[in-house]
Chains A and B, each alone.
Chain A
Amino acid sequence: MVPQDYGFFIDPQRCIGCRSCVGACAECGTHRGRSMIHLDEMDRFDSPQTVPTVCMHCEDPICAQVCPSDAIKRSEDGVVHAAQKPRCIGCQNCELSCPFGVPLVFSGLEQMLKCDLCYDRTSVGHKPMCATVCPSQALLFVRKDEVTNLRHNKPLRDFLIGSVRVKTKNAIMVPDPETPLHLDAALLIDGGL
């Protein structure tokens, strides 16, 4: 069981785009060679902002709702697992429906794989591999009550995506709206602060 008092917090503001998480995820004992993390550049023209995406482990996962073969299970501790191999038919419903774009059906494998919060590690008291290695701690796995002491931005677990309300186990750290975004060097030189 993953301890209930621990949480996974994603803080894109701190992400430095180094892809340590991507590299380390692929070293995992259960999906060796393949990474279950997506790391996207938002728009390199404008900014070096990058965003890591892992499964948000929804309370009522849409991927599981739409799975015709009931292959996607959520365990009691709130972790949504990759599709079970004997049941998964590789139909890609989960891939198409996930509001966060997380599950991937791998060609040749005909099975959906996704982040399972490093269940092999977190169920025995370790942190997920990505959160352990993340150099800037943009991926953080700590006791939930610690976050307010550690960070001054706030965790968000309740999303309205279109008309759908999605509650998640994992949280996104929302940046302070006052955070400056000096991204165009030319404007800075021209006099903007």
Chain B
Amino acid sequence: MSTLPLSQDQLRAQFGPHLNLAPPGGWLADPTPDKVVETHCCFCGQQCGIKLKVKDNKVIGFDPWEEFPFNQGKLCPKGVKRYLQGNHPDRLTKAMKRTENGFEPMDWNEAMARTTAEIQRIQQQHGKDAFALLSGVSLTNEKSYLAGKFARLGLQTRNLDYNGRLCMVSAGAGNKKAFGVDRAANSWADIELAEVIWVTGSNVAECSPITTDYIWRARDRGALLIVVDPRITPLARTADLVLPLKPGTDSALTNGILHLLHKWKLIDWDFVSAHTQGFEEALEAVKDCTPEWTSQMTGLPVEAIEKAARIWGEAKTSFLLHARGIEHQSKGVENVLGCINMVLATGRIGRPGCGYATITGQGNGQGGREHGHKCDQLPGNRDISNPEHRKYICSVWGCTDEELPGVGQSAQEIMNAIHAGEIKGLMLLCFNPLVSLPDSQFTREALSKLEFFVCLDFFLSESAQHADIVFPSALHEEDEGTTTSAEGRVIKINKAVDCPGDARPDWQIMVELAKRLGRGRFFDHFTSPEAIFNELRVASKGGTADYAGISYEKIVKNMGIFWPCPTEDHPGTPRLFEGGKFFHPDGKAKFIPTPWRPPMEVVDDDYPIWLTTGRVVFHYLSGTQTRRIGFLVEQCPHPYLEIHPRLAEKYGLVEGDAVEITSRRGTMVLPAKVVKTIRPDTVFIPYHWAGALSANRLTARHLDPVSKIPEFKVSAVRLKKTTKDQFSPELADLQRMAFEARSTQSQMPEQVF
């Protein structure tokens, strides 16, 4: 039983998060580097170029990489301070085992032997599928590809999934249905040329800050900006039209817009008839979605809906961007399809200044969803249930069809199966489900039921605290490989420093485990990331995500190559669908009707307030990395409840008051942040923290039926004013840490200067 070996306070004292505030040697150390390495940020899907300064095998700072075309030196605060993860006191440098007295370092060989024996024991007793692998999409393409192959041919389990399942799978599924391919339709360069930019369910300024500059450059050329979000975010502050809709009503809005586009004759019939199918059915589905109906569903005024339809419909060029706000829902795929229907109806795709994209959230969210560490997918974005696709991958991998497992369970379903006792063993790679999955108390119960749990990580995440064996793996700057940015640009991550202590790159750990499991013949040739990439190229050949013509050398020379790139002499494809050619066999895009249905959980008398969750600019996902960087913690030490003054007044709340928030899953107490920039029927909590401060204590395990993405963005809660002595000890700890971080800076010694 993988219960915690020590109390959470004891684990925190030993493994952090502690704060790293200064470069190696402190601010007094000489900042002159031995070398400067061009690479990319380890955080979000923008994958900004950055130069890391290295001295004595340590990253000591950064320089902007102004030549890299996407961000031209620009960085968000996470990128600026990312280098403080290296040389961090919490860093894991030895393999560890859980004992009655906490974690103890152990010999690497012994850790490998025990892990191998436990995997074999569980699989002999309960079947191959009783051992699961969950991995993350901050991994490089090489590691994602390897994780897929390792699960299928190393562990021989079908139960493999990834934390992209909590990110943009709804976008991927919608894109595949409509376009036959899952990638942003354009490079970001087309944003700058658009007349209208429609941003929905995306706090661009905080979650993908570099994109704000692309949008502003378009606005300087006269573009209009429409932002759809229950909150007025920093980008929405200056937008031409803000539509603060009710959480969970996104497809009602897109249906209403499509209704008006048709009514007002703003459809591009030439494009629709030549390049699409299914428009009549899509129109039929929105025939009753009048502005009045849309207003009633979304809580937006009729005039605002009409103005949005007019601006969108009359433009000559446009770019539509969406993100987790519409995708993290039990009808995420329908929301995405609603947006695509708006784009297709106006024919504004596949030409300059006309585009569509989901803004990928995780570092390699795009590449990670192409190479087969999804439960239903094989490399090259192939379908694991398609006999032809299976046959091709079997030929690349040198296995038989019988040796290649079929569709497995998705991330939340794997956790449900662990909780139900059906899955007994788990390997966790670069994923912190205890913070990232909904209904965190359920996740903790599930992890506690595992018979054997092995983790690969560089810090002891909250989930890893439940592990039996922990292998120390590599930081981003300690390995090389490729990732694929939100634009679809395949880029090169370069190694800057060596791993400390016994830490090793994840791919080496997986290859060694595969050998010990007697499956070395499928993995022996993986002696470097480039060797893995070269097999990935072959495996993706002929698939929609075709990397066959991309080499490390070519990426470096061109500062990235956009896939598909089928041959060595192919330049890559920044803009998809040029000439109205889509990826379905008939070359046409598909309109998919999106009839309205409500979210899985709606407000009622017991839980009368909508809750939505999201990110802040200072933290990344489950916070495993950013909650350890002093500067970032100082800016935003803990979560809070964002609430409109009208609603706050109803509960007698003023700024900083303690408020108890309760959903059907759990309760938490947070300080109130009273702001006019949120709907009065909705509250917001950022989700980057663990334990008593985890927003996912409140969210539900409802899934989109197609993408299996949980409905993080819509829950029902009730509020109660309480007293500050109800704040959790973790909140006070974080406030103290942030205060100490500030004090440290004001007390810097004179000799610095």
**A residues near B, CB below 8 A?**
13-20, 22-24, 26-27, 29-34, 44-50, 85, 106-109, 111, 113, 127, 129, 132-137, 150-152, 179-186, 188-191, 193
Give chain A nearest CB distance to B393 CB in angstroms: 40
User: In the bound complex, do residue A32 and residue B220 qualify as a contact, i.e. CB atoms below 8 Å apart?
Assistant: no
Q: Least Cβ distance of B278 to chain A in Å?
A: 34
Query: CB < 8 Å: which of A26, A29, A111, A189 contacts B244?
Result: A189
- Which residues from A are CB-within-8-Å of B689? none
Q: Are B80 and A20 closer than 8 Å at their CB atoms?
A: yes
A105 to nearest B CB, angstroms? Answer: 12
The size class of the interface chain B forms with chain A is 35 or more
Return the contact of A48 from the options B22, B232, B300 (Cβ within 8 A).
B232
In the complex, the answer to whether A133 meets B753 with C-beta atoms within 8 Å is no
Asked if B242 and A136 make an inter-chain contact with CB atoms under 8 angstroms apart, the answer reads no
Which of B160-168, B517-525, B657-665, B668-676 interfaces with chain A? B668-676
Within 8 A of A (CB), among B595-635: 617-618, 631, 635
Q: Which of A15, A34, A48 contacts B233 (CB 8 A)?
A: A48
Contact of A107 among B73, B240, B678, B746 (CB under 8 A): B746
Cβ contacts under 8 Å, A108 to chain B: 746-750
What is the distance, in angstroms, from B525's C-beta to the closest C-beta of chain A?
41
Residues of chain A with a CB closer than 8 A to B230's CB: 185
Measured CA separation A50–B31 after assembly (Å): 31
Chief secondary structure at chain A's binding surface: loop
Are B232's CB and A136's CB within 8 A? no
Question: What's the least CB distance linking A44 to chain B, in Å?
Answer: 6
Chain B residue nearest in CB terms to A153: B220
B80 touches A136 (CB 8 A): no
Query: Of B64, B80, B216, B679, which one neighbours A14 at CB under 8 angstroms?
Result: B216
> Contact string, B223-255, partner A, CB cutoff 8 A, digits 1/0?
000000011111111111111100000000000
Say yes or no: B679 contacts A189, CB within 8 Å. yes
Contact pick for A193, options B209, B231, B232, B241, CB 8 Å: B241
**A136 lies within 8 A of B209 (CB):** yes
Chain A residues lying within 8 Å of B692, measured Cβ to Cβ, are none
Interface 1/0 per residue, B64-89 and A, CB below 8 Å: 10100001011111011100000000
Partner of B242, one of A47, A188, A191: A188
- The answer to whether B206 and A111 have CB atoms under 8 Å apart is no
Is there contact, CB below 8 Å, between B745 and A34? yes
B244 and A16 contact, CB distance less than 8 A: no
User: Which residues of chain A come closer than 8 Å to B27, judged between CB atoms?
Assistant: 32-33
Encode B254-269 as 1/0 by CB contact (under 8 A) with A: 0000000000000000
A109 touches B753 (CB 8 A): yes
Evaluate contact between B753 and A186: CB separation under 8 angstroms. Answer: no
Chain A: CB-nearest residue to B222: A152
Choose among B61, B222, B239, B617 the residue that contacts A27 (Cβ–Cβ < 8 A). Answer: B61
Query: Contacts A16-B205, A45-B645 known; A189 to B31 CB distance under 8 Å?
Result: no
Q: Is B213 an interface residue (CB 8 A)?
A: yes
**B675, A151: Cβ atoms closer than 8 Å:** no
Nearest CB in chain B to that of A175: its residue = B238
A44-B745 contact, Cβ under 8 Å, with A14-B212, A185-B231: no
B244 contacts across to A, CB distance below 8 A: 185, 188-189
Say yes or no: B237 contacts A48, CB within 8 Å: yes
Structural contact, A186 and B212, CB atoms closer than 8 A: no
Pairwise interchain contact A31-B644, C-beta atoms closer than 8 A: no
How far is it, in angstroms, between the C-alpha of A133 and the C-alpha of B65 when the chains are bound? 10
From A16, A152, A190, residue with most partner B Cβ within 10 Å: A16
What are 30 sample pairs from A and B whose C-beta atoms fall under 8 A apart?
A: A13-B238, A16-B234, A18-B617, A19-B635, A20-B209, A22-B77, A23-B80, A24-B75, A31-B752, A31-B753, A33-B748, A45-B674, A48-B237, A50-B234, A109-B748, A109-B753, A133-B73, A135-B75, A136-B205, A137-B216, A150-B217, A179-B238, A183-B232, A185-B677, A186-B644, A186-B680, A188-B304, A189-B679, A189-B680, A193-B241
Q: Which A residue's beta carbon lies closest to that of B636?
A: A19
Partner of B677, one of A18, A48, A137: A48
The 10 closest A-B pairs by CB, nearest first: A33-B27, A135-B209, A16-B205, A136-B212, A23-B80, A16-B234, A184-B676, A32-B27, A185-B244, A132-B64
* With A18-B206, A31-B752, A48-B237 already in contact, 6 other A-B pairs whose C-beta atoms are closer than 8 Å: A20-B209, A31-B753, A45-B645, A181-B238, A183-B677, A188-B244
B213 surroundings in chain A (CB, below 8 A): 135-137
B646 at the interface (CB under 8 A from A): yes
Contact status B301-A45, CB under 8 Å: no
Q: Which of A44, A179, A180 contacts B673 (CB 8 A)?
A: A44
Given the interface pairs A18-B76, A20-B75, A193-B241, the reply to whether A135 lies near B303 with Cβ below 8 Å is no
| CB atoms of A44 and B73 under 8 A apart | no
Is B431 in contact with chain A by the CB < 8 A criterion?
no
Hey, which chain B residues are within 8 Å of A151, CB to CB? 220
A191→B301 contact, CB < 8 A: yes
**With a CB–CB cut-off of 8 A, which chain B residues contact A27?**
61-62, 80
Kindly state whether residue B655 has any CB partner on chain A within 8 Å.
yes
Chain A residues within an 8 Å CB radius of B210? 135
Contacts of A152 in B (CB 8 A): 220, 222
Q: Is there contact, CB below 8 Å, between A185 and B232?
A: yes
Q: What is the bound-complex CA distance between A133 and B73, given in angstroms?
A: 6
A136 — which chain B residues lie within 8 A by C-beta?
Answer: 205, 209, 212-213, 216
Does A109 lie within 8 Å of B750, measured CB to CB? Answer: yes
Which B residues are in CB contact (< 8 Å) with A29? 31
Known contacts A48-B234, A133-B80; A185 and B676 CB within 8 A of each other: yes
A134 to B301, CA, bound (A): 36
Do B233 and A46 have beta carbons less than 8 Å apart? no
| Contact of A193 with B307 in the complex, beta carbons under 8 Å | yes
